Amino acid sequence: ERPLERVLQVGPLLPSLHRNLVEHYDAVLLDEQPDGYLDRHGADFVAVVTTARVGVDRALMDRLPRLRAVVNFGVGYDTTDVVTAAERGIAVSNTPDVLTDCVADTAVGGLIDVMRRFAAADRFVRRGDWARGQYPLAAKVSGKRIGILGLGRIGRAIARRLEGFDAEIAYHSRSRVEGVSYIYAESPEKLAAWSDALIVATSGGAGTRGLVSAAVLEALGPDGYLVNVARGSVVDEPALVAALTGGRLAGAALDVFADEPNVPAALLDLDSVLLLPHIASATRETREAMGDLAFRNLRQFLEKGVLVTPVPAP
Contact criterion met (CB below 8 Å) for 30 and 8: yes
Which residues between 246 and 285 bind ligand 8YV (CB under 6 A)?
278, 281
Chosen residue from 9, 20, 51, 297 binding ligand 8YV by CB under 6 A: 51
291 lies in the binding site for ligand 8YV (CB under 6 A): no
Contact 290, 73 (CB under 8 A): yes
Binder among 7, 52, 115, 298 for ligand 8YV (CB under 6 A): 52
Say how far apart CA 229 and CA 212 lie, in whole Å. Answer: 13
Q: Quote the crossing angle between the two packed helices 284-304 and 100-116, to the nearest 10°.
A: 150
With a CB cutoff of 8 Å and minimum separation 6, the contacts of 297 are: 69, 71, 93, 307, 308, 309
Which positions from 80 through 139 interact with ligand 8YV, judged by CB under 6 A? 99
73 is a contact residue toward ligand 8YV (CB under 6 A): yes
Least spacing, CB of residue 15 vs ligand 8YV, in Å: 13
If one asks whether residue 75 binds ligand 8YV (CB under 6 A), the answer comes out as: yes
172 given a catalytic annotation: no
Distances (CA, A) of 133 to 125, 128, 136, 194: 11, 10, 9, 35
CB atoms within 10 A of CB 32: 8
Among 55, 74, 150, 155, binds ligand 8YV (CB under 6 A): 74
Please report whether residue 55 would count as binding ligand 8YV according to CB under 6 A.
Answer: no
Q: Is 18 considered catalytic here?
A: no
Give contact residues for ligand 8YV (rule: CB under 6 A).
51-53, 73-76, 99, 278, 281
Which residues are tagged catalytic? 231, 260, 278
